[in-house]
Amino acid sequence: MRPPSLLLPPLLLLLCRPVVQSRGLQCGSFPGPCANGGTCLSPPQGQGTCQCAPGFLGETCQFPDPCQDAQLCQNGGSCQALLPTLPGSTSPPSPLTPSFFCTCPFGFTGERCQAQVKDPCSSFCSKMGRCHIEASGRPRCTCMPGWTGEQCQHRDFCSANPCVNGGVCLATYPQIQCHCPPGFEGHTCEHDVNECFLNPGPCPKGTSCYNTLGSFQCLCPVGRDGPRCELQPGPCPPRGCLNGGTCQLVPGRDSTFHLCLCPPGFTGASCEVNPDDCVGHQCQNGGICQDGLGTHTCLCPEAWTETGGPARTQRAASTACV
């Protein structure tokens, strides 16, 4: 019967090792402690051990190695020897001679790996898949159109192209998920986003916003151009752009325009506007929002800080006052 390897004590799992730890061998004794042509090794400090000749194992090389028989484990199985329990051990009794067990490759089973497992493709794939064996010996399913999963057991709803307006189907089970392009939303990207209703809107003050399918258009005043009316006529002004902005020339169809590239925290045709970053951000627990450049902070009451502990000063700067 094949021994249960999970219950074996560590001293039993000596896997065909030529050197076995002894319990006080004296290498200088006569006759030597190692049998069957073994060599006694005596380190400067410590106790001697026996280096066994091929085909033998044990504390004094007293046992023949059952794994020397190359035909013991069949079909490519690997043999591992199990030594008898040492005298005085608390482990359960074992045979007086070494035993063995075989580790079988995929597709085989039995004490000596002599039995072949039934065809793994016989019931691995569902009716909606075709099974084939990979080089590793494991089964793999190729699904029919409209089906997915390791065993082709799930309906592939993405195969019907349910996402509209350029949406990409991401998840196929148990329900679809569409990743929508900018300008569209909804379960299947079926709804157009009206950017003109956003707060703040996409177009600058003094212009009109016109919604289009998947996008928008800013109706610019005379002399302004660009998707957001950001282009101003003429070359860069001598004073340049405000608040550290950089002026860039943009050739137009009929004349030259210039554009101000604003640093973080500023916007506007000449980078003259610092948007209120407190819009859409509300401080908790009585905190007062203070606008910054591209950010905001909350001036928290004495009893609140961003970490939830007591404040060390009368007012502590935070982003939430929690």
126 contacts: CB under 8 Å, gap ≥ 6 = 141, 147, 151, 152, 153
Pick from 117, 124, 122: nearest CA to 150 = 124
- pLDDT value, residue 143: 93
Pick from 30, 10, 29: nearest CA to 20 = 10
- pLDDT value, residue 3: 41
DSSP codes joined into one string, 177-241 = EEEPPTTEESTTS-EEP-GGGSSS-SSPTTSEEEEETTEEEEEPPTT-BSTTS-BEESS--TT--
pTM score = 0.40
- pLDDT value, residue 311: 45
Averages of pLDDT over runs of 10 residues in the chain (322 residues) are 38 38 66 86 78 89 89 89 67 66 83 84 87 86 88 84 90 80 93 90 87 91 82 86 89 77 86 84 85 85 59 52 72
